Copies of this chain bind each other. A is one copy, B any other.
Amino acid sequence: MNEAGVDLGGLQAAPEIRAQAWLNTPAPITLAGLRGRVVVLHAFQMLCPGCVAHGTPQATRIEHTFAGAEVQVLGIHTVFEHHAVMGRPALEVFIHEYRLTFPIAIDMPGVRSPIPQTMQAYELNGTPSLVLIDRAGRVRLSHFGHIDDMEVGARIAALLAEAAPALVS
């Protein structure tokens, strides 16, 4: 039972990110290393119109709104189509042009599947997707498509307000 009296025992532990590379960070990042913080995972493709118009700017707004709080925004480039033109060099230009500053993982290519591995592990339906992971490392929201800023702010703040787990968890 957590502090709100809800049994979270059945919640999915967030699968670890499987990155072939990390950008915007001096070193690779693991969810395990972020335990105790709220993690916002923004899954996107650089040529997905809904990502460029809504999801990615929203991720930047999350980064700014919760600056200084125990929140970590992570992008994950989950290319599941048009792989040839959304490789690392193209993504680096995209990050530069759109001035993205949060760390971004390049998802590990799928094995015998166009869908990359982290995207598969999270069972995402497409891009953009927003995944919220609580301080204890559990998936608390996985949303495909548009979601309002106010609701996003509320959900992150609600997770922030939860007590951090004992670090042995």
The residues of A with any CB-CB pair to B shorter than 8 Å are 47-49, 52-53, 61-62, 65-66, 82, 84-87, 89-90, 93-94, 97-98, 148-158, 160-162
Using Cβ atoms and an 8 Å threshold, which residues of chain B touch A97? 47-49
Out of B52, B87, B153, name the residue touching A153 (CB < 8 Å): B153
- Whose C-beta in chain B lies nearest to the C-beta of A61? B150
Do A84 and B89 have beta carbons less than 8 Å apart? yes
Contacts A97-B47, A97-B48; A66 near B149 (Cβ below 8 A) = no
Asked whether B157 lies within 8 Å of A154 as measured between CB atoms, the reply is yes
Interchain residue pairs with CB less than 8 A apart (13): A47-B93, A62-B150, A65-B150, A65-B151, A66-B154, A85-B89, A85-B90, A149-B149, A153-B157, A154-B156, A156-B157, A157-B158, A158-B160
Chain B residue, CB-CB nearest to A50: B97
- The 9 A-B pairs at the shortest CB distance, nearest first, are namely A153-B153, A161-B161, A157-B157, A150-B153, A85-B90, A153-B154, A154-B157, A149-B150, A149-B149
